[in-house]
Amino acid sequence: MGWVDSVTIVVRAGSCGIGLFSAATGELRHRFQVTNEDHQVKSYTASALSFNSDYKIFSSCKGKNNKQYKIGVWDQLTGKQIEFYYDQYRWSLGEANRLQWLHGTC
């Protein structure tokens, strides 16, 4: 769980995904889903969470059968999936316990 701002919290619930809630009322504002190229909703297990000042939420994710590892990115205002950072062969991105952003340029 983490505070996004003074009125909003984001909660990771393992295989149930991620939700954005009102801190005052507990109302669910968004349930962050994962979709494939055909816009079909897929199951995933969420792990480490992070968010930034551009209203994006990031989470390490494991896909079906724990074989697909990614960092998911969602727009916290709309609840829509924006991007997946995916490396099938080298890194277990879905196993991350912590996400940390470093300042720098490429």
What is the 3-class SS of 25-36, one letter each residue? Answer: CCCEEEEECEEC
What are the tokens at 59? 């989470």
The Cα 73–Cα 84 span in angstroms is 6
Q: Each residue of 35-69: pLDDT tens digit?
A: 767 777 888 778 788 888 788 888 888 776 656 66
Higher-scoring residue by pLDDT: 35, 18: 18
Asked if residue 77 has pLDDT above 80, the reply is yes
Domain ranges of the chain: 2-95
What are the tokens at 14? 């393992």
pTM value > 0.85: no
The Cα 57–Cα 46 span in angstroms is 12
Higher-scoring residue by pLDDT: 106, 64: 64
What is the 3-class SS of 59-98, one letter each residue? Answer: EEEECHHHCCEEEEEEECCCCCEEEEEECCCCCCHHHCCC
Instruction: Give the pLDDT of residue 92.
Output: 56
pLDDT band at 106 (very low <50, low <70, confident <90, very high): very low
